[in-house]
Amino acid sequence: MFLREAVLLVKLPKSELPSILMAINSLIFQFALVFLISKDMVLSIIPGRWEWIYKSVNRYYYILLACFGIIIVLTNPYVGYGRLVSYLLQGLLYSLILLRLLLWGHTLVKKGASHIFFIGQEEVVRERFAYAKTCFGIAIIISFLFFGALGLIIGAKIWGWPIVFKDIIRWLNVPLLGIGKGTSSPLTLITIGTILIFVIFGFAFAYGFNKFVLEKIFDLMLVEAGVQHAVTSLVRYVLVAAAIVLALQSVGYGGLVTYLYVLILGIGYIVRDPLYDLIAYFIILLQRPIKIGDYIQIDEETMGVVRKITPKSVMLRNKNSTTIVVPNSLVVTKSVVNWNYSRNFIAFDDIILTIIYSADPIKVKELLFSVVDAHPNILKNPKPVIRLIDFKDHGFEFMVRGFISSNLTMEKWEIASDVRLNIVKILRQHNIELAVPMRITISESDLTILDERVNKIRQ
């Protein structure tokens, strides 16, 4: 200040030095006031609940101080950038508020979509319906695009740029990669959005139809769960495919549908075997020739308990605890023996034994029945079957048949083994022997003597 007064007293002609000295003095005074405020003083006035602000100021204090100093310099009246700094600060403040509001709106949409498409059960999040994850992802993308476009329009207004809704529509109508440019049906973002909207409505309509129409019919007709799953899946595929066709026609790509048909037929021919398995999968679900837990046999080597039915194959677990993968087409085209198809009990393989003719067949039948009836896993109803089925060259031939619960299908061989062991035990206790074929061995010399005697008798 003294230097400025001295310059003024000298009265230099047309000199800007006094103004420059005044500007420097003003800046020094402002910087002095800023540097009088220490870091601890700033941190002490920040509320405790603003922890993230406290940490940011503590970490970047000197950077913030430098920025504040730059703002002071630019806003100084002698420098002349006050209006520009005010414009930038105001735009940044409004932009941060706008960004916060857009993020808040997108978060609300995300939470609402999660409640619509998912359900929480005992700390486990499950899908409310098939393809819920896909629908959730599409909803999030649409929400992001919507709030992004909204932010672009409002942000342009904040910064004074001449962007309006018509400009965004014009940008969305720009052909992508030049596809369809100059034609009546170019490929644009609006075209893609329209197709996506049709597909989403197709999924929504399929869900509503299955939920409020088919489920009511299934409840009235007592349709099995497997049939319900097959029908609802087919309806969903048909309705979504119809939505895609309508979407293509609505955007002017109706001619593309014909090419899609040809493409689908070509792909179907190439992958006809997996496609056949998929069709057989729906046939299995509709006709229910087998179900989970059934013990089935397709041939002498392919047998076991059905553990899983997939669109590609049926998983069997045989008695050796090995897994057999059977294509669905084989189950549909081959003859399948299913021990658990219509009843809740099965019979183990018939036990055939031959008793010598010297034994009393009535007593033998009673003993065999007592053995089968005493086994804890053999059902009393239906009763075991004990029959004298034939007279063999060396004895009576009996058949033993017992019935067990279908839950014990995989134990039927062990149960039949126990029955055989108990039969042998009780027959020995009553001195009853099993008949075996008799063989007489004659030496060559004895055979010569026997022939001579036969010839003498004939003479």
From the candidate CATH numbers 2.30.30.60, 3.40.605.10, 3.30.465.10, 3.40.50.720, the one assigned to the domain spanning 291-338: 2.30.30.60
Q: What is the pLDDT of residue 58?
A: 79
Q: What is the pLDDT of residue 121?
A: 65
Give the helix/strand (H/E) hosting 119: strand 118-121
The pTM for the full model equals: 0.45
Would the CATH topology of 291-338 be identical to that of 345-429? no
Percentage of the residues of the chain whose pLDDT score is greater than 70: 78
Fold entry, domain 345-429: Alpha-Beta Plaits (3.30.70)
How sure is the predictor about 418, in pLDDT bands with cuts at 50, 70 and 90?
very high
Q: What is the pLDDT of residues 96-108, one digit of tens each?
A: 899 999 999 989 9
Average pLDDT of the segment spanning 447-457: 72
How sure is the predictor about 362, in pLDDT bands with cuts at 50, 70 and 90?
very high
Distance CA 250, CA 183 (A): 15
> Which residue would you say has higher pLDDT here, 27 or 291?
291
111 has a pLDDT exceeding 70: yes
Q: What is the pLDDT of residue 314?
A: 87
State the chain's mean pLDDT as an integer: 78
297 has a pLDDT exceeding 80: yes
Q: What is the pLDDT of residue 300?
A: 79
Q: What is the pLDDT of residues 15-32, one digit of tens each?
A: 555 556 566 666 666 666
423 has a pLDDT exceeding 80: yes
Q: What is the pLDDT of residue 83?
A: 75
How sure is the predictor about 41, in pLDDT bands with cuts at 50, 70 and 90?
confident
Q: What is the pLDDT of residues 330-353, one digit of tens each?
A: 888 888 888 777 667 888 888 999
Average pLDDT of the segment spanning 400-429: 88
124-127 and 118-121 as β-strands: parallel, antiparallel, unpaired? antiparallel
227 has a pLDDT exceeding 80: no
Rounded to 5 degrees, φ, ψ at 394 are -120, 5
Number of neighbours of residue 396 by Cβ within 10 angstroms: 20
Average pLDDT of the segment spanning 149-153: 82
In the chain, what are the domain boundaries?
Answer: 123-274, 291-338, 345-429
Smallest CA-to-CA distance from 153 within 139, 143, 142, 167 is with: 167
Smallest CA-to-CA distance from 165 within 150, 155, 176, 175 is with: 150
> Which residue would you say has higher pLDDT here, 327 or 230?
327
382 prior amide bond cis, ω within 30: yes
How sure is the predictor about 370, in pLDDT bands with cuts at 50, 70 and 90?
very high
If you write DSSP's letter for every residue of 199-266 in order, what string do you get? Answer: HHHHHHHHHHHIIIIIHHHHHHHT--HHHHHHHHHHHHHHHHHHHHHHHHHHTT-HHHHHHHHHHHHH
Q: What is the pLDDT of residue 46?
A: 75
Q: What is the pLDDT of residues 120-146, one digit of tens each?
A: 766 677 777 666 777 788 788 888 888
Q: What is the pLDDT of residue 26?
A: 67
Q: Where are the alpha helices (DSSP H) in 251-384?
A: 254-270, 272-287, 328-333, 361-374
Rounded to 5 degrees, φ, ψ at 291 are -150, 170
Percentage of the residues of the chain whose pLDDT score is greater than 90: 12
> Which residue would you say has higher pLDDT here, 7 or 260?
260
